[in-house]
Structure 1
Amino acid sequence: MKTPFMLPCRRWWLMAVVIIEVALILESAMSDPEINLLNKGCSQYNATNLSDFFSNLNATFSGLRNQISSQNKKFATAQQARTSDPVYAMVQCRDYLSVADCVSCLDAAVSQIRNCSAANGARVIYDGCFLRLGLHIHFSHLINFSSLHSLQSMCQIPSFLIIEQGTLKNGNIIAVKKLALSSSRAKADFESEVKLISNVHHRNLIRLLGCSNKGPELLLVYEYMANGSLDRFLYGERRGALNWKQRFEIIFGTARGLAYLHEQFHVCIIHRDIKSSNILLDDDFQPKIADFGLARLLPEDQSHLSTRFAGTLGYTAPEYAIHGQLSEKVDTYSFGVVVLEIISGRKCNEMKVESTEFLLEQAWKLYEDDMHLKLVDDSMNEYREEEVKKVIEIALMCTQSPVSVRPTMSEVVVLLVSERSIELTRPTRPTLIDNDKKIREEATAATGPSTSDATASFTEFTGR
């Protein structure tokens, strides 16, 4: 028998059910996980043990999904590192997404990343979320991304920065590069460096571990190089500490890194700022090229680009410094100058007290007089004279004019490891410019070197 009290209770119960159903329908109608794809990429390297890798991959994705769905997180990290192919991953959703939309965005990103198959690293960027995974990057120790906007347009390196040493939760030491958000240039440099360096992997290129644009500073997190930059060992506080074997290994490793950027990566990358301070040394004095903020991509169908000068005078090829003609041979020229610095222990754009010659000019004159070894750093004692002479000649080949006669960096690598003496056409005289981008005329015995306001033509390029 129904009592008068039961009738209103039943009505209220029915109304509650209707309200809940309407709310669910409205939530479904208003749901928007924002899965417009902005960017995606797969590593060119694959995992070694596929069974372990896919098992770890599935467990890692499951861990991310569980954290977002049950713990109401918008940022989560997960890892499976029990085997030789560990997987680390991180996901971040925009703050305004609902839990359901965040999960949906993650699911869509996971589906995209699975298209990379066994690639040991991948990333997917949607409007609403960002997912990244890797075999070696422990994202739970990295800096949290506070905004996805700066990662969407990823497209150039500044002098307005600070490099600091930091320590992760697991005790690993890192280098943190801070860029002040004082200009649009800083943000553009940040975005360019992240875009380029996160996709290149080589033993002689610095490895990017993470980044952040939270707060007033932009942060780039790199692997830590215990010995700092090469310039410290050539003309800084550690001058004289490198023997010839170490110097040669630095030269060879740098050449190999550049050859990868120019010819072995899927698109040609021109660094534009190769110099001793941008070459870092690890515990074993192995070199790693750093600072990709000025790097540019060279399309396959173009021999060069015409662009405004950016870089460091003294290391910069004349055709680029004067006319803005940029090709990979600009890096080749800079490499040649760095090699001369490594051999001489002298800074390229400083004149010796007893002369008015820059380093490249002095090296060329000593070569012409067959007095190569007068260039060698006084602090370097034991070395094979013929080997050092060969390397000096290779450096001069890299600085030749016109551009077309400079070797490619892969050719430089072969020349460096060749046991026989190089029997090639004599290098042609480089075009010498001073700090005002004026061409330095050849010196005369009576008057010494002079400068000219004349400009030379550097239009001889070869297709790649």
Structure 2
Amino acid sequence: MAILVVLLVLLLTELGVSQTNDNDTNLLIGMFCGRNAVTSLPNFIKNRKTTLDEIRMQLLSKRIRFARSQALIAGDPVFATAQCRNYLSVDQCVTCFDVAVSKLINCTAANGYISYDNCFIRYEDFNEYYNDPYFLTDGSGLQYLSCGNQSSSQPTTFNQVVDIVLSNIRDATPKTFNFYVASTRQVISENATVYATAQCIENINQPICQTCMNSAYDKLNDCLPSTQGRFSDMACFARYSETPFFNDNQTIDITNVIKGHSSKLVAIVAAAIGGVALFILILVLWLLYRLRLRKKSKKTEQGPTDLNGAVHYSYKDLKLATNNFSKENVLGKGGFGEVFKAILDDKNIVAVKRIQVRHGGAKEEFENEVKLISNIHHRNLLRLLGWSSEGSHLLLVLEYMPNGSLDRFLWGAQRRTLNWNQRYEIIFGIARGLAHLHHEFHVKIVHRDIKSSNILLSDDLTPKIADFGLARFQPEDRSHVSTGFAGTLGYTAPEYVLHGILSDKVDTYSFGVVILEIISGRRSTEVRSFRSSNACWLLEDAWEMYENTKHISVIEETLNLNEYEREHVMKIIEIALLCTLSQASDRPAMSEVVSMLQEGRSLGKRQLTRPTFLRNEDRRIHIQAIQNQRT
């Protein structure tokens, strides 16, 4: 029995299957149009529109997933609440909200409710339900259950796995700070994964959340052995599915909240199996375990084992996958080499970066880069999939980004196709990626070359910071390190260009410049047509406009912004200028920038001061001086 438990634990932790995220689906779970009558239909419709418009603005401006509002003008009061799932982007949240509103406005009662996979909206003519969702005046309770029409091929084991997942999220959700949990668990017999999430309304108390989660657990168990189920109540939402609907890196670690449940599946399976069945299962698991050991041993012979899942490829395989590194497959070129589109195993599209060997220490630097990237996992940082090092052939296998780099959308083939909300999400995503490098990783990492061409966009325009070839570790006990210049002029902080002083605030400066590029659609080195060629680049231009309270002119003319959006962009421009202050110590840390962007905070008591501007001639002189010092 002990052997069975050990083998099960090993397989539970190692046998994982990567699947495509399916959180774009948005099934209507239920809708309710109440019985409370309105006094004046025109007044009611006006008040309801006011509250829903205000909620939408809150979702966009505060970048939140829960909002409420009220309108009391001329009688027929409306109190409204809306909430989106926490695994959604703001764009997805607002899209779901708009779809829900388009259906809910057909209801002419004084109270109504609609629930989707991705969000819900509720409005009433009383506000007591804000803190007690079960407070009703028309006697109607709202509870919806939706089960899938496909059953599991191994119902006994599947039911046990789902029961564990549901019991875990039932117990954990009321104990989390935001009443939200997303979790996964392997189903070994089906080589599948169960994805589950639960969420209570943010403004209720823990007992109400627990009551709702108890109902969700009981009801969703009625769906089994269906491969998916959805539950929606006045106070909470819960869902499980074999099809992923949130990303793997969005799961919530509930091990500290739920104790004693992690081995429950093992105990159930071990207790349920006996005699011949037990012997056969042990034999099968032993064979699988031996096979995995053999594969692991083979990988050990190929290369280092401390690369967190990065696969070692042969140069021959990558040469074949890129069609002999043909020009037709070139995705881009940089100071450290070329990037090629490649197809592995006849189906998987990846990007292969070929590193140019320029000196004897190139291989060592390459291996450092591999170790660096393989340990970084964040949705806004480009993921390393594999590597190859044979002689002078140094290659990285990276995620393929179908939308290419950000600069294509700012002044390239896709110019002027991004609306403001998309631009903001890109700004916010870059900030989160940098904050992870600077503050959330076990060592502080300075990228050194943040620019628009090093920001890649996924198929849903999620930004991912790429090209860690210039990244450097910064010792925790030092505010900066002195190093030779490497980076891109127009994005680089003055203290780094002039004196080689490198700190995380160098990335902050570059990020501020990228913000201005995203907002203006101009290159950092572009000079306005009415200025002389020796005048000023984008940053200086933006600062002069800010000094004259005309920084609204920085915004790209083709962006069709409403009044709120213009105010929002003005705040972001101020944050960009704050990031580019002359003194590195005056610039905010990227963790603070994330908070400012997320909360829509202004500069507060901070005062912006004129940045240091380097003229073209100065840049050439200082760069030449640094190069002379290094030779």
| TM-score where L is the length of structure 2 | 0.48
CA spacing shift, 1:309–1:58, aligned 2, 3 Å: closer
Alignment of 1:392 onto 2:573? yes
Mapped contact 1:189–1:294 kept (Cα < 8 A): no
Mapped contact 1:57–1:80 kept (Cα < 8 A): no
CA distance in 2, matches of 1:385, 1:177: 40
CA distance in 2, matches of 1:291, 1:314: 18
Unaligned runs of 5+ in 1: 1-49, 61-78, 86-106, 114-123, 147-156, 440-450, 456-464
Give the C-alpha shift of residue 80 in structure 1.
11
Residue by residue, what CA displacement relative to the aligned partner does 1:432-463 show, whole Å, maximum 9, x if unpaired? 11344459xxxxxxxxxxx999x9xxxxxxxx
CA distance in 2, matches of 1:132, 1:321: 35
Aligned to 2:482: 306
Aligned to 1:82: 191
Aligned to 1:411: 592
- 1:426 maps to which of 588, 594, 607: 607
CA distance in 2, matches of 1:380, 1:192: 42
- 2:10 maps to which of 39, 43, 54: 54
Structure 2 SS opposite 1:176: strand
CA distance in 1, matches of 2:595, 2:414: 30
1:402 counterpart letter in structure 2: Q
Mapped contact 1:52–1:83 kept (Cα < 8 A): no
CA distance in 2, matches of 1:274, 1:188: 23
CA spacing shift, 1:57–1:392, aligned 2, 3 Å: closer
1:370 counterpart letter in structure 2: T
Aligned to 2:347: 171
CA distance in 2, matches of 1:413, 1:232: 25
Give the C-alpha shift of residue 133 in structure 1.
7.7
Structure 2 SS opposite 1:165: strand
Structure 2 SS opposite 1:130: coil
Mapped contact 2:536–2:615 kept (Cα < 8 A): no
Q: Which residues in structure 2 correspond to 1:307-346 (within 5 Å)?
A: 307-346=483-522
Residue by residue, what CA displacement relative to the aligned partner does 1:48-89 show, whole Å, maximum 9, x if unpaired? xx98561266889xxxxxxxxxxxxxxxxxx9992439xxxx
Aligned to 1:280: 456
Structure 2 SS opposite 1:211: strand
CA distance in 2, matches of 1:209, 1:392: 36
1:400 counterpart letter in structure 2: L
Aligned to 2:548: 369
Residue by residue, what CA displacement relative to the aligned partner does 1:80-133 show, whole Å, maximum 9, x if unpaired? 992439xxxxxxxxxxxxxxxxxxxxx9xx8xx9xxxxxxxxxx979x963368
CA distance in 1, matches of 2:453, 2:520: 16
Structure 2 SS opposite 1:202: coil
Residue by residue, what CA displacement relative to the aligned partner does 1:245-274 show, whole Å, maximum 9, x if unpaired? 110000000000000000010110000000
CA distance in 2, matches of 1:331, 1:322: 16
CA distance in 2, matches of 1:403, 1:133: 34
Mapped contact 1:192–1:293 kept (Cα < 8 A): no
Give the C-alpha shift of residue 382 in structure 1.
2.5
CA spacing shift, 1:428–1:51, aligned 2, 3 Å: farther
CA distance in 1, matches of 2:544, 2:189: 60
CA distance in 1, matches of 2:337, 2:192: 39
Aligned to 1:382: 561
Give the C-alpha shift of residue 421 in structure 1.
4.0
CA distance in 2, matches of 1:199, 1:205: 11
Aligned to 1:210: 386
2:574 counterpart letter in structure 1: E
CA spacing shift, 1:209–1:435, aligned 2, 3 Å: farther
Structure 1 SS opposite 2:417: coil
- 2:416 maps to which of 240, 265, 273: 240
CA distance in 1, matches of 2:559, 2:568: 14
Aligned to 1:131: 305
Mapped contact 2:524–2:538 kept (Cα < 8 A): yes
CA spacing shift, 1:82–1:426, aligned 2, 3 Å: same
Mapped contact 2:497–2:622 kept (Cα < 8 A): no
Q: Which residues in structure 2 correspond to 1:107-118 (within 5 Å)?
A: none
Mapped contact 1:145–1:213 kept (Cα < 8 A): yes
Give the C-alpha shift of residue 231 in structure 1.
0.7
CA spacing shift, 1:164–1:129, aligned 2, 3 Å: closer
Structure 2 SS opposite 1:365: helix
Alignment of 1:294 onto 2:470? yes
Give the C-alpha shift of residue 378 in structure 1.
1.8
Structure 2 SS opposite 1:237: coil
CA distance in 2, matches of 1:385, 1:391: 10
2:559 counterpart letter in structure 1: M
Mapped contact 2:596–2:602 kept (Cα < 8 A): no
Question: CA RMSD, aligned part only?
Answer: 3.6
Give the C-alpha shift of residue 350 in structure 1.
2.5
CA distance in 1, matches of 2:334, 2:378: 23
CA distance in 1, matches of 2:403, 2:361: 29
Once superposed, which parts of structure 1, at least 4 consecutive aligned residues long, lie more than 6 Å away? Answer: 57-60
Aligned to 2:539: 360
Give the C-alpha shift of residue 204 in structure 1.
0.3
CA distance in 1, matches of 2:507, 2:513: 10
Mapped contact 2:357–2:392 kept (Cα < 8 A): yes
Mapped contact 1:276–1:338 kept (Cα < 8 A): yes
Mapped contact 1:366–1:374 kept (Cα < 8 A): yes
CA distance in 2, matches of 1:130, 1:160: 23
CA distance in 1, matches of 2:364, 2:189: 35
